[in-house]
Chain A
């Protein structure tokens, strides 16, 4: 939290699965959400009524954080970032395999992967390691503190090197991770003929790839895709579902088709598509 938002006074760290009384007879419990390290759903309980706010979540296996826990409740408040049936994220191993195949086909070029600094970057690195890539992975300066924090939390990421410390010539054939905003920035011009890749669920849609100016789209997301969203509602099986933060209308329609009581929560200021 301090790394992302600065040090906040009066904040208390909370553990997963430990109810905290927050007054008025309400207890709050943090449950793993599987989104990124430390991400949580919040279970609110009052007089036997149970509400879960999923926050951002996903159901796919992720070596860098504990998995989403399905917990029964009366009211489920779910995110809907990828709440359209066109969004189906392929298995991450396929996307990592495409990344490595591109690297092998272009040994003189470096591959610059745009990935969100919290969670996505570490997951991509961990999955590269799992796929047998043990070369150094080079980091844009903005990536370093989060990666260090993950390693301190016991998530090994292998040989990581700051890009500032190496010669341009050493980067031929290297994999470099940077924030998405740096992909087409002046910063990337110092790299040897980079292939720009972007790890994001939006890469499923061609025109998003084009708008981003990305050569190698990698469909990798830390948010639930359509199947995960709908399956989660089915498994949690709440009496009522509120939908927020994304494409509410389609998920609302799905709930209607499946005779589930649901409504869309219109939160203003949430219609951006960064992830």
Chain B
């Protein structure tokens, strides 16, 4: 645990990507199995002890620290694990045994029940110092949040053992922590793990945002970017799985899809729910809100299947039967996908339409007209592009719609977490429910915690501290003097909000220092934008 704790602390104070890669690579080379595998699992978010949740940690602390002092401390520190590590009372008697290793911690945590977990955790915490306690809690609750992406950890693994990162991605997904076969392969002591016997997730191909690049429709093909969930459907030997962007298995929430791919294939598409707002009345899809109702359910009722039937709009095919198509150009894969579509049930699958436009200017017009269809934008894919993991320059672009803009007034602020701990960086803003000069009030319309620069964040933090008029626990109410221009992708009717509307992807576009609050927009302006 000491080495892992050191790794976490050094990663925290190492801003450069290369520095982080070196630290992780060093650790992976120099630490024995199974500890290094467990650390890798933690860095890639693959650790899960069902018996230990953040609530177990809060429960332990509630028995040791006054709830008000805990809440004030947690709010200041901005991280539950760190707060607990700092407030944990040192044991009265010297603990028995040396500090536990990661492997030992896994051993005792994985065998404990939900009832026994607090006692097991206590014994481990008593044997550690502050840094060790922090590392253990982060590890056990499975939420590191230290700004290391799974991708970065895999690159570090590849660097540590001089193997290609594409191979690491490919072999990764069939493996479970502590990844002993993966390490054995990487150090040259075993053949690579097999990938053709299980319904494994393959890394998605992703797109760069289109900025100033010159793109010609002779080389690129255009498709809609649908506002659903990007999924991969995999069938191997009678077993079908649906994976989300991050490789999470969401088959259980969508049984109608999982049951309708009866042959071996790996497909890429957008999961949507039938409706009329995306893609027109016939064969259309509902807004993202409808899809949200179906997410994260362990059991799906018949009513739900009838009211919100899901389907997949197919973008691509990676594997057909036993043939890996990923090296073929996009155009050839598209033909294979069209052939394959004839064998699929059209109730659950359709093909992503190719947008026909004579040039980029024409496409821009089509894209601008797509506002009402609640489409996120347009995808541009190079006709010759192979299917490769991650974002590769020049192959795929996403060309999002221009955002909608509205001027809102800052109403409440809360401190952020992680690197924004202590900064007031979560903002709730509102619009007027009528004419502010005739006594109209501000109603909250949304919340945003990004879009601003570091400099603007410092300004906003200072503004909140100087303009606080009331405190509700961690929430500060401000004097409603500051206007933001808020950018958002779309706005929907919502019964859950007093304002009756909910924005999608709101962010602070700029601070309108010059604009008086009573000139901010009214709710009516937002309602006319409802899609």
Residues on A close to B: CB < 8 A? 84-86, 88, 204-211, 213-215, 217, 247, 249-250, 253-254, 257, 271
Partner of A85, one of B69, B421, B422, B465: B69
Assembly CA distance A85 to B65 (angstroms): 9
A90 vs chain B, min Cβ distance (A): 9
Write out the residue numbers on chain B whose beta carbons fall within 8 Å of the beta carbon of A214.
13
A259 vs chain B, min Cβ distance (A): 14
| Complex: chain B residue closest to A273, CB-CB | B422
B79 at the interface (CB under 8 A from A): yes
Assembly CA distance A210 to B87 (angstroms): 20
CB within 8 Å of A: which B15-74 residues: 15, 65-66, 68-69, 72-73
A257 and B66 contacting across the interface, CB-CB below 8 Å: yes
Residues on B close to A: CB < 8 A? 9, 12-15, 65-66, 68-69, 72-73, 76-79, 82-83, 86-87, 134, 418-419, 421-422, 465
A210 and B12 contacting across the interface, CB-CB below 8 Å: yes
B87 and A207 contacting across the interface, CB-CB below 8 Å: no
Write out the residue numbers on chain A whose beta carbons fall within 8 Å of the beta carbon of B421.
205, 207
| Complex: chain A residue closest to B421, CB-CB | A207
Q: A206-B82, A253-B69 are in contact. Are A215 and B13 (CB under 8 A)?
A: yes
Write out the residue numbers on chain B whose beta carbons fall within 8 Å of the beta carbon of A204.
86
A253 and B72 contacting across the interface, CB-CB below 8 Å: yes
Q: A206-B79, A211-B419, A250-B72 are in contact. Are A86 and B86 (CB under 8 A)?
A: yes
Write out the residue numbers on chain A whose beta carbons fall within 8 Å of the beta carbon of B72.
84, 247, 249-250, 253
A264 vs chain B, min Cβ distance (A): 11
Assembly CA distance A206 to B73 (angstroms): 13
B349 vs chain A, min Cβ distance (A): 46
Write out the residue numbers on chain B whose beta carbons fall within 8 Å of the beta carbon of A88.
86
Assembly CA distance A253 to B65 (angstroms): 12
Write out the residue numbers on chain A whose beta carbons fall within 8 Å of the beta carbon of B422.
207-208, 211
| Complex: chain A residue closest to B417, CB-CB | A207
Write out the residue numbers on chain B whose beta carbons fall within 8 Å of the beta carbon of A257.
66
Write out the residue numbers on chain B whose beta carbons fall within 8 Å of the beta carbon of A271.
465
Residue of A84, A88, A207 ringed by the most chain B CB atoms within 10 A: A207
A152 vs chain B, min Cβ distance (A): 37
Assembly CA distance A207 to B13 (angstroms): 9
Write out the residue numbers on chain B whose beta carbons fall within 8 Å of the beta carbon of A211.
419, 422
Write out the residue numbers on chain B whose beta carbons fall within 8 Å of the beta carbon of A85.
65, 69, 73, 86-87
**Cβ contacts A to B, 17 pairs, < 8 Å:** A84-B69, A85-B69, A85-B87, A86-B83, A207-B78, A207-B421, A208-B422, A209-B12, A213-B15, A215-B14, A249-B68, A250-B68, A250-B73, A253-B66, A253-B72, A254-B69, A257-B66
A82 vs chain B, min Cβ distance (A): 11
B283 vs chain A, min Cβ distance (A): 49
Q: A206-B9, A249-B72 are in contact. Are A86 and B77 (CB under 8 A)?
A: yes
Assembly CA distance A206 to B68 (angstroms): 22
B413 vs chain A, min Cβ distance (A): 14
Write out the residue numbers on chain A whose beta carbons fall within 8 Å of the beta carbon of B82.
205-207
| Complex: chain B residue closest to A83, CB-CB | B72
Write out the residue numbers on chain B whose beta carbons fall within 8 Å of the beta carbon of A254.
69
A196 vs chain B, min Cβ distance (A): 9
Q: A205-B77, A214-B13 given. 9 additional CB < 8 A pairs?
A: A85-B69, A85-B86, A86-B73, A206-B9, A207-B422, A209-B12, A210-B419, A250-B69, A271-B465
Assembly CA distance A204 to B14 (angstroms): 17
Assembly CA distance A250 to B71 (angstroms): 9
| Complex: chain A residue closest to B70, CB-CB | A85
Assembly CA distance A213 to B15 (angstroms): 8
Write out the residue numbers on chain B whose beta carbons fall within 8 Å of the beta carbon of A213.
13, 15
| Complex: chain B residue closest to A252, CB-CB | B68
A240 vs chain B, min Cβ distance (A): 20
Assembly CA distance A250 to B65 (angstroms): 12
Assembly CA distance A214 to B465 (angstroms): 25
Assembly CA distance A216 to B154 (angstroms): 27
Assembly CA distance A217 to B72 (angstroms): 23
Partner of B87, one of A86, A205, A206: A86
B351 vs chain A, min Cβ distance (A): 47
| Complex: chain B residue closest to A211, CB-CB | B419
Assembly CA distance A211 to B65 (angstroms): 27
Write out the residue numbers on chain B whose beta carbons fall within 8 Å of the beta carbon of A215.
13-14
Partner of A210, one of B13, B68, B76, B465: B13
B16 vs chain A, min Cβ distance (A): 11
Write out the residue numbers on chain A whose beta carbons fall within 8 Å of the beta carbon of B66.
253, 257
| Complex: chain A residue closest to B14, CB-CB | A215
Residue of A84, A208, A247, A257 ringed by the most chain B CB atoms within 10 A: A84
Write out the residue numbers on chain A whose beta carbons fall within 8 Å of the beta carbon of B78.
207
A86 vs chain B, min Cβ distance (A): 4
Assembly CA distance A209 to B69 (angstroms): 22
Assembly CA distance A217 to B77 (angstroms): 16
B135 vs chain A, min Cβ distance (A): 11
Assembly CA distance A248 to B348 (angstroms): 60
A169 vs chain B, min Cβ distance (A): 25
B335 vs chain A, min Cβ distance (A): 51
Write out the residue numbers on chain A whose beta carbons fall within 8 Å of the beta carbon of B65.
85
Assembly CA distance A204 to B422 (angstroms): 14
Assembly CA distance A227 to B128 (angstroms): 21
Closest 10 CB pairs of A and B: A207-B421, A86-B86, A250-B72, A253-B68, A86-B73, A215-B13, A84-B73, A271-B465, A210-B12, A85-B69
Assembly CA distance A205 to B82 (angstroms): 8
Assembly CA distance A6 to B86 (angstroms): 41
| Complex: chain B residue closest to A209, CB-CB | B13
B386 vs chain A, min Cβ distance (A): 39
B15 and A207 contacting across the interface, CB-CB below 8 Å: no
Residue of B14, B15, B422 ringed by the most chain A CB atoms within 10 A: B422
Write out the residue numbers on chain B whose beta carbons fall within 8 Å of the beta carbon of A86.
73, 76-77, 83, 86-87
Write out the residue numbers on chain B whose beta carbons fall within 8 Å of the beta carbon of A247.
72, 76
Write out the residue numbers on chain B whose beta carbons fall within 8 Å of the beta carbon of A217.
13
Assembly CA distance A257 to B66 (angstroms): 9
Write out the residue numbers on chain A whose beta carbons fall within 8 Å of the beta carbon of B76.
84, 86, 205, 247
A194 vs chain B, min Cβ distance (A): 14
Q: A86-B87, A271-B465 are in contact. Are A206 and B12 (CB under 8 A)?
A: yes
Assembly CA distance A250 to B74 (angstroms): 12
A207 and B419 contacting across the interface, CB-CB below 8 Å: yes
Assembly CA distance A86 to B133 (angstroms): 14
| Complex: chain B residue closest to A253, CB-CB | B68
A107 vs chain B, min Cβ distance (A): 20
B79 and A207 contacting across the interface, CB-CB below 8 Å: yes
Residue of A204, A206, A215, A254 ringed by the most chain B CB atoms within 10 A: A206
